[in-house]
Chains A and B, each alone.
Chain A
Amino acid sequence: MTLRIGTIEAKKGQKAFGFVGSVDTRGRFSAHIPLHIVEGAASGPVLLVQAGVSGLEIEPAMILPKVVEDLDPRQISGTLLLVPLLNTSGFEFEQVNAVWDSKDLNALGRGKADGTVSERMIDAYYREIVAGTDALVDIHTGGLWGYYRYAGVYKTGDVQRSRELAVRSGLPQVLLGQPEDRSIAFEAAKDGKAVVSGWIGGGPGLRDFRDDDMRRVRNLVLNSMKHLRMLSGDLESDDGKVAVIDGHSVIGLPTERGFIFMAKEKRGTVVRAGEKIGYVRHPFTGDVIREILAPRNGVVLHAGAVIPMVPEDATLAILGDLMEERMLR
């Protein structure tokens, strides 16, 4: 029995690598998506792991191919499909969006068969890959500006299955009620698949936490496989604790622009409504021109932009109510 996706073929107990979703651009470059297949010896679920949908969320690609390399398909039940870096043109030109048409690949839904280059590529990807999976782990980072460490779950589709997968991801916080968007992951959630967005790392932590974050990415993939009974073994995490948080507030930029300083030491703590969680300084006079306050009582997620000069659409903080604290094992 041979698994065939596009031009990539893997027999039972084998691995394969190739590109899918190929669309030719005006200059006859191939816009396509790199895909690893690990076809287990025994039958089981299909898990898709994807990373780098933004061209600036590239650090997981430093470890994901190594995770594949270390897996023995003879020990696996089911199929692991892994995309280490989906937005290859954004990566090439160091930008969030695809360069062919300036499209944000996180905002194209499931693509469009007669659309732009990116829309056609995502359409092919969704039909050929995503539609046939049981579970999707969508790995994000904070890009150049943010630093993150949580697993997000949409309140759409099979929420319970997604939530259990997130709890077992190995990440210290689970956000229930990740804001709805037009991402591939949200479409997959609507289709009833178990979907987790793993938010791990980002540029501002790269110098000091790279090795830890690469381990977290590895844990996320292997823990997901273990939870889905594709792989045997114990779950791995930082300290075994997981806080499940029902998100209620996503804080973006205030009306005043300047240097924004968020109180990162408040991550993981409980803040009260009206408590100061950040402030804006005038970039030339240094005056504090706006305080950023918690809109409601809540737990602060390990999330958000931390560099003082952030893009216009940045998330500064996410708050929610603590639902439960669990041990991983």
Chain B
Amino acid sequence: MRVGSIEARPGTHVFGYLSVAKSRSGLSPDIPVHLFCGAKPGPTFLVQGAIHGDEIFGTIAILNFVSRLDPRKLRGNVIAVPVVNRMGFELGKRVCPIDGKDISRLFPGNAEGSVSDQIAYTYFEEVIKKANVMLDLHAGGLTGYERYVLFTAEKDPENHTELEKKCRRLVVAFGLDCAAFFPPGTFGGSGASRGKEAMDEAGVISFTVELGGGTGWFKNGEDNMRDEERGIWNIAKAMRMIDGDFEADGPFCTIYKADVVLWKPPYDGLYIRKKQFEHVKAGEVFASILDPYTGKELGHVYNTKDSTVVPGGQQWPTLGATSIVELGTPDEIVDRRTADLHVSFE
């Protein structure tokens, strides 16, 4: 198994850096890569963290996972990338600070573009395209807190493709009690759509886990890391790369159709919101914005449809520049005790 100049023989684990680009001052934001080549053949599983440089919690789960993974007991290959956006990680920024771009929105990249475009290009060609499954670990950064699996809506809700069916199985197999998808047009820009199309074309099943975040770290940090690592193991089990039973939050996974996205209102101040999993009626106040000096209510963010707060979004009392929360209605409730969560690859 080879990624860039990193090569692992069957039954071994190798760590190295994938050369991607150089900045004007000569900084090389080369990407750290753990490569596990299983003793037996099988599919390739890519797990990556910190493509948003401030979302570091998945990184820790990946480090824990690689410290315990034995390549001699592995069927297929695991590519584990603890930090994709190394410069963003260095400075605690979501985007790549060299050019201000969000690498996750640039796939399949551009070899002739800016540093981030080049990173996306090399990473897509050398890493993503070699995977059957790409698990992209995200979190709430310092100001949010999340706990759900996010995947792209199926193109035809009534008729899922084979790739889409496998994706749903893996989403449930990860082990959280909540998952969500955004119906087309609800969320995500053209960059995300272009990247998804490129991955579909390459035959890569990709989905995202949003787990953890700074504002829940004190109480939940260790639990989040444990559950995230558990989920990585579950995906390897679902892909039949290792043996073992699935472990999960509980028997059920509720998949929400997240068709309500609430956005930053035109006024700002201090933000107090409804809690995760609360049911909010159409027209009901989801959040209040207070004057930071007098405490007077400046206005409200109203919900637009009877729905449940998907466990995510901003918790810090100031608002970001984008959406502040997603709400949804159950699309499917999967009982893990009866569902087959394994997927096969030719």
Query: Is A59 touching B317 in the complex (CB atoms < 8 A)?
Result: yes
A208 touches B56 (CB 8 A): no
Residue B217, interface by CB 8 Å? yes
Stretch in A3-11, A223-231, A303-311 touching the partner: A303-311
B59 within 8 A of A: yes
- Across chains A and B, the number of contacting residue pairs, with CB separation under 8 Å, is 115
Asked whether any CB of chain B lies closer than 8 Å to the CB of A17, the reply is yes
CB distance from B147 to the nearest CB of A (A): 10
Which residues of chain A from 264 to 297 have any CB-CB distance to chain B below 8 Å in the complex?
Answer: 264, 281, 283-286
Contact among B32, B143, B218 for A147, CB-based, below 8 A? B218
Known contacts A285-B15, A307-B214, A61 near B292 by CB under 8 Å: yes
* CB contact between B318 and one of A88, A94, A284 (< 8 Å): that residue: A94
The closest CB in chain A to the CB of B141 belongs to A144
Q: In residues 31-49 of chain B, which contact A (Cβ within 8 Å)?
A: 32
Report whether B32 and A306 are in contact in the complex, using a CB–CB cutoff of 8 Å. no
Binary A-proximity of B213-232 (CB < 8 A = 1, otherwise 0): 11111111100000000000
The verdict on A84 contacting chain B, using a C-beta distance below 8 Å, is yes
Q: Report yes or no: A286 in contact with B217, Cβ–Cβ below 8 A.
A: no
Q: Do residues A17 and B218 form an inter-chain contact, with CB atoms below 8 A?
A: no
How many residues on chain A are close to B (CB under 8 Å)? 38
Q: How many residues of B contact A (CB 8 A)?
A: 38
Contact B32 A206 (CB under 8 A): no
The CA of A65 and the CA of B290, in the complex, are separated in Å by 10
Q: Determine whether B272 belongs to the interface, using a CB cutoff of 8 Å to chain A.
A: yes
Picked from A17, A284, A308, A309, the residue with its CB within 8 Å of the CB of B294 is A17
Question: B92 at the A/B interface (Cβ < 8 Å)?
Answer: yes
CB-CB under 8 A from A285, the residues of chain B are 15, 32, 63
Smallest CB separation, B114 vs chain A (Å): 24
Given contacts A61-B293, A62-B317, contact A207 B32 (CB under 8 A): no
A88, A202, A205, A208, most chain B CB atoms within 10 A: A208
24 contacts between A and B (CB under 8 A): A17-B294, A58-B270, A59-B317, A84-B295, A144-B214, A147-B218, A203-B142, A204-B214, A204-B216, A206-B315, A206-B317, A259-B59, A259-B60, A281-B63, A283-B82, A285-B15, A286-B67, A286-B82, A306-B217, A307-B142, A307-B217, A308-B56, A308-B60, A309-B92
Q: Which residues does B use to contact A, with CB under 8 Å?
A: 15, 32, 56, 59-60, 63-64, 66-67, 82-83, 89, 92, 142-143, 145, 213-221, 270, 272, 290-296, 315-318
